Amino acid sequence: MTLSLQQNGAPLLEGKVALLTGANGGIGLAVAYAYLASGAKCVIADIPLDPSPGVAALQSQFGENVAYHHCNITDTEARHHLVTSTISQFGSIDVLFNNAAIFDMGPLLEASEEQFDRLFNVNVKGMFFLMQDVANAMVEAGKGGKIINMASQAGRRGEALVAHYCATKAAVISYTQSAALALAEHGITVNGISPGVVDTPMWDHVDALFAKYENRKPGEKKKLVGEEVPLGRMGVPNDIAGTALFLASSLSDYITAQTYNVDGGNVMS
């Protein structure tokens, strides 16, 4: 299902340009569908050199309104190039869906500096400095804008095996609040989305790690976490896309510094 909304008879994001990272699949791809179907032009950025079949399908459906860029957000020059090339191609950046992230886990007493650096470089450093680059472009354009940072329910609590990842996502929530206050005078809203357990290819990797460290059978952890959600199932990418569309649109103009739990009731705050 592709989300698409209209306001006053016009597509909700008509005339808007959105930059989405980590969008070659999963949640990012679902959000790209929603934005494009609601009238936006989208630049999809991710690590692979070539777009996925899902992105190729978007390009086939939406033509010149969607472009794919290979980008490693931990690389300063690559981030700058992503922002400048998006503006060069489409004229502006009105929405940033700041989604690129990686996951890893392991026993706290065995946690390495390499794992720490890898997670924080992508999930925090890359996230923050891309937000900064886009915010500077938005301020220069003088039209305001929408920044949406992807957090996680892991950022709301600690987990024995997931210390570094939890800390990175807690940082995303904190930076979202600080950036919202810093950018309010420029008409830029900054909000976050905190998903719970979402059935994407990444969860196969997560499940395999839990199987290793908790001595479980493959698939067991994934089944258990889905059953423990109050709504009785894991989320799917489109469950996140609705909130991402709302936060990118004029419907959320008076909302900033918030991080929305989209998790089937796992976290209440």
Q: What are phi and psi of 262, to 5 degrees?
A: -120, 80
**Phi and psi at residue 70, to the nearest 5°:** -70, 130
DSSP 12: T
**Which residues have C-beta within 8 Å of that of residue 87, sequence separation ≥ 6?**
93, 137
Strands, DSSP E only, in 183-258? 188-195
User: Which one of the listed residues 35, 165, 175, 260 is annotated catalytic?
Assistant: 165
The H helix count followed by the E strand count for the chain is: 9, 9
Q: How many residues does the chain have?
A: 269
The burial of 162, by beta-carbon neighbours within 10 Å (0-12 exposed, 13-18 middle, 19 or more buried), is given as: buried
Beta strand 10-11 with 6-7: parallel, antiparallel or unpaired? Answer: antiparallel
Secondary structure class of 95 (helix, strand, coil): strand
Contact 152, 127 (CB under 8 A): no
Amino acid identity of 232? G
Is 175 annotated in the active site? no
Active site residues: 165
